A and B are shown apart, each in its own frame.
Chain A
């Protein structure tokens, strides 16, 4: 049973349909990527899961139960548009936000101490938020989001505004959270982090879910049957051997070797390719090339555009 299940969600705004019959299944204890171009309806779906707005049709099940106000304390949400009270002190504010999520002051204080130490930001406790840089504020916001140990975490563009070091720190924490049993919904436009972190994805476009599945499986689905071979030897002989149904996309020297990118004809596999080349050159490595999530994203969204 999926941990979070959105069934046939429809949400209309005054002049447009934000979500048109969208269904999403998020398996327990996984990182789930919610993808889509700007204005696709991701934020609307996230707001519905957070009960900020209600769906016009459809229902959300969390752990098999219909979503209700008491679930709020089980969810941690880091919105894309996030801010803090500028004039309030960091510690005081973190305490307040944690208490709004239903934590007792005592528990919140204890846990905040732990996290502030872990992120090495104890000296900020009595500073006003306006004295912190944007990245620093994001750290505080991240801590507040996960402080009440929610079983479902929703991160909307969590890495924006972070330098690579802090982005990595955050990535590690997100992976930690999964290891500790949390389920994570992760919305971003940064496809390389999707490949790195996500187990499953759903891609939404124009209010409709147009693609979902496990990340490696999705990439394979869009495979163009490409292979990359590193070899040394005579490039011409290699080209001659592949003449015909194989299509050489590129062949360039990298260091001492040549790197060859080949599009294989349908229904052929890498074994057949190797058979053709094995007598022509020294093969140093060989791998199937799957499209990046970036390519998949662009491909699917563009296709979807031409259909509709």
Chain B
């Protein structure tokens, strides 16, 4: 009878009962919010890919009214070419195209942005801010100076609801949310990154504890070293999953809390909308707040639905487990090879580098989720869990996901096999200065 369940149970229970686990579970979502905001903000400042957006203005009112930035250019093209653009968008070389179909002061919904990829927040903000500024001054100019309060009040009612629409291959249109895609992508890439790191390190610490405590010899006289290693890896995986589950539940509670705040307290709502719309206008009037109030929460929810939350979550679990298994066994082998913490450094580096590299590539993936580099990194098992999770919200073809998952499974079977052999020898060897050559010897020796 396999003793893995028994070992798993101990590994799991001793960890979830720890104070640090409980604190982390409660503080995690808060800490995590900071982690989401800061890299996202940094990423938004460092986009260097030049994008050209075609503008088709049927109203003829807004020619050259949207300002170019260093990297976002707007090109005004003949409204007659709209059909060409729609049919052969990929061949046009544009990043996106903007269609203004009516006077925006009359109909603020008469503006749409189309692209075959998710649209970044910079492009969206640039359009909104330019147009809003222009419209405001337009409106201001049309008033006499008396009754200014009322005028400003009136001006502040001007609002633009830019709907970004994802163009399917067949020309079908899907409402998409750029921020949501980015946030989802970032959240999952970071979650995977953190969990692989934190829980991988826990596996290593656990193995080292057994080795330095010398309890290992008692245990391996009862169970096979491989069973012990797998029990530990799986037990800690369950701890991680418990944490994720609790975080999801907590986030759910926070979300419903936010929803209640939205319906009851417009002050908070307007502040939140203010941030979301990035207007930078501190004294945004209640008019906007009211207008945004009603739609914002539902819209977030509907956007979330368009992200396919269940599918994304399942993929996250698969990639997280795969990535964790891949690295955890390597961490276990390191823990088995060394006698104390300081010796881990030399072996940690080669394991850590691909994880960190993956995070950097994931950052690039928010901007350009379908570039060659990002594609390859989302295939290599050592980086795919993080990079692919960053890509998933930007509609990755199914075959790429299947292939990358298959490679990941092959990857972790390989590392587990490799690590198991090093582990078996390593845990019983003390007081030896371990080198890579030594590890290789152990690996070969175990094969006999």
Q: Which residues of A contact B (CB under 8 A)?
A: 13-14, 47, 50-53, 56, 72, 75, 77-79, 81-88, 96-97, 99-102, 141, 144
Contacts and interface: CB of A to CB of B under 8 A. Distances in A.
B271 interface: no
B6 A79 contact: no
Nearest to B6: A99
Interface of B: 1, 3, 6-7, 10, 14, 209-210, 213-215, 217-223, 428, 430, 441, 445, 448
A52 B428 contact: yes
Contacts of B214: 79, 81-83
A52 B220 CA distance: 6
B3 to A, nearest CB: 6
11 contacts: A52-B217, A75-B221, A81-B214, A81-B430, A82-B217, A87-B14, A96-B6, A97-B222, A99-B6, A100-B7, A144-B218
B353 to A, nearest CB: 29
A52 B428 CA distance: 9
A100 B223 contact: yes
Contact of B215 (A72, A75, A85): A85
Given A99-B6, A100-B3, A85 B209 contact: yes
B217 A100 contact: no
A252 B222 CA distance: 56
Contact of A72 (B7, B217, B221): B221
A97 B220 CA distance: 11
Nearest to B211: A83
Contacts of A99: 6
A56 to B, nearest CB: 8
Contacts of B222: 72, 97, 100-102
B221 A77 contact: yes
Give the residue among B219, B220, B222, B448 with the most A Cβ atoms within 10 A.
B222
A52 B441 CA distance: 19
Contacts of A78: 218
A53 B448 CA distance: 11
B441 A82 contact: no
Given A77-B218, A141-B218, A84 B3 contact: no
Give the residue among B10, B210, B214, B215 with the most A Cβ atoms within 10 A.
B215
Contacts of B445: 13-14
A99 B5 CA distance: 11
Contacts of A141: 218
A82 B14 contact: no
B219 A100 contact: yes
B213 A84 contact: yes
Given A14-B441, A52-B428, A100-B3, A86 B221 contact: no
Nearest to A156: B217
A96 B222 CA distance: 11
Given A47-B428, A83-B213, A100-B3, A88 B221 contact: no
Given A83-B214, A141-B218, A100 B6 contact: yes
A144 B217 CA distance: 13
Contacts of B220: 50, 52
A62 to B, nearest CB: 14
B215 A84 contact: yes
